[in-house]
Each structure stands twice: as C-alpha cells, then as structure tokens.
Structure 1
Amino acid sequence: MSISDLYASGQHKQEMGHFASVVKIALVDNTVTEGEQKLLNRAAKKLNISEEEYQKILKNPDDYPVNPPIGYDESIERLYRLTKMIFADGNVDKDEVVLMRKITTALSFPLDNIEKVCDEALHLVMNDNDLDDFTAAIKKVNAV
C-alpha cells in the first residue's frame, strides 16, 4: 500500500466521522426532515460517502468517531456544515446546540472558546453568511 493510499483511507475515515456528526445532529429529535435529508445527501456526495456507508452511518452514527481535520480551515468548514444542519429543519433545538458544542471540541477548537465560537457560528448561519464570511468571522472570534 502506498503512502497516498494510506492518506486517502485516513482522509475518508475523517470524512465518515464528520458525516456521522452531521447525522447525529439531524437525528437529535429522532426525525430527519426534508431539509435535513437534502443537507445529508449533499454532505454525503461532497464527502464521497457511498450509499452503503451512508446507510450504515445513518443506522449507527455513534460507531464513527470524530477525527479532526489537520487544517484549521477544514475544521471551520466542518463547523459550518454542522451549523447548517442545525438550521435545516427550521428549529434550533437545545440538544442540537449541546451536541454541536461537543463536536466543536472534537474539531480541536480551544475549550475556553467553544461557547463563543458556537454562538457566533449559529448567528452567522442564521443570517445566511456564506462559507467565506463564516470562515473570516470564526477566525476573528477565535483569535488567540
């Protein structure tokens, strides 16, 4: 097995873990709405999740750990997708926000800044900011 094959499989495990995090947020209320389903389908396609993997993750998302990405921008992009999922059904559930904070911690954001980062993420997505604006704002709020 070549180095590129090892990297690719490690990268795919990260993508599966991230997709499982998105699924967990969608399933907090035990229902996947039409909006959440659309976001799940888009996320699966973007993350190269096969139909078989999709179904396995949907059944048991807790079987897939969050593997934080290597880059800071990738962590912010994952936070963006997670936050978009919270708003997909039109309701922001307290349990979703609690789970979001746990996942944000797993994405390697500083513990002492998790609440501020999550609050800003929610505000940005609620106001329809795109990924570029979201990234800039999160970097500003998370400046150390």
Structure 2
Amino acid sequence: MSFSDLFDSGFRKRNEDHFASIVRVAMSDGVISDSERAFLDRLATRLDITEHNYKEILKDYKNHPINPPTSYDDRLERLYDLARMVWIDDIEGPNQHWLLEKLCIGLGFNSANVKYIADKALVLAHDKVDLETFIEGIKSMNE
C-alpha cells in the first residue's frame, strides 16, 4: 500500500464519519425530511460517499464515531462549507435556518448561540464571501 493510498483511505474515512455525524443530526428528531434527504444526497456526492456507503451509513449511522472539529477554526471551515451547501440547495425560509441550526449543534457550537451563528452564516453564504471573510465575519459577530 502506498502512502497516497493511506492518505486517501484516511480522508475517505473522515468524510464518512463527518457524513454520519450529519445524518445523526438529521435523525435527532427521529425522521429525515425530504429537504434533509435532498441535502444529504448532495452532501454525499460532495464528500465522495459511495452509494453503498451512503445506504450503510443511513442504516447504521450510530456505529460511526462522532468526530467534531477539534479547533474553532476547523469548526468554522466546516460551517462555511455547510452554510454554502444549505444556501445553494435553496432550502427556503425557516427550514433553511432550522437545518443549519441543527448542523451548528452537530459541529459543537453552543446551543444558546446557534440561531445567531446560523443567521450570520446564511447572510455570509448569500453574499458569496470567501472562507477568510466568512471566518472573520463569524468571529466578529459579537463586536
């Protein structure tokens, strides 16, 4: 096995675990709605989750470890990606906010702040800012 194979398999495993964590968040209310399913379908494609692994994760998502980002900046990077996906998916109105709030909790943000974080993240996603501007915008929310 080459070094690149090790990297690829580790990267793939991290993406699968990340995807399983998001499935766990989507299942927190016991059901995956149609809009959540559509989001998960597109997310699986972006994370290069095979159809077989997608079905296995949906069936047995609790057997994947939860690997929330360990640093605040890593959390913001994942939020950046997820906020853009939610915005691009045209999930309208309250469902857009509700889904991103659930994802914020799954990323490890304080539940008391997720409404404000999701609101700001969606505004920044709407404005199509780059990652650096997004991180600065979220970090400076309380100023």
TM-score w.r.t. structure 1 length? Answer: 0.64
Task: Give structure 1 regions of 4+ aligned residues with deviation exceeding 6 angstroms.
Answer: none
Which residue, out of 29, 35, 38, partners 2:34? 29
Q: Cα distance 1:82–1:123, how it changes in 2: closer, same or farther (>3 A)?
A: same
Q: Secondary structure at the match of 1:141?
A: coil
Q: Secondary structure at the match of 1:12?
A: helix
- Deviation track 1:14-33 (CA, whole Å, cap 9, x = no partner) reads x33422427949x6425538
CA distance in 1, matches of 2:88, 2:66: 21
1:28–1:96 Cα contact (<8 Å) kept: no
The root-mean-square deviation of aligned C-alpha atoms, in Å, is 3.6
Q: Which amino acid aligns with 1:29?
A: D
Matched, 1:12 2:13: yes
Q: Secondary structure at the match of 2:108?
A: coil
Q: What is aligned with 1:70?
A: 70
Q: What is aligned with 1:105?
A: 105
Unaligned runs of 5+ in 1: none
CA distance in 2, matches of 1:111, 1:75: 14
Q: Cα distance 1:142–1:81, how it changes in 2: closer, same or farther (>3 A)?
A: farther
Q: Which amino acid aligns with 2:86?
A: I
State the identity %.
31
- Deviation track 1:42-68 (CA, whole Å, cap 9, x = no partner) reads 2x13xxx455323423x4485456431
1:69–1:75 Cα contact (<8 Å) kept: yes
Deviation, structure 1 residue 126: 1.0
CA distance in 1, matches of 2:142, 2:109: 8
Deviation, structure 1 residue 93: 4.7
Q: Secondary structure at the match of 1:97?
A: helix
Aligned residues: 128
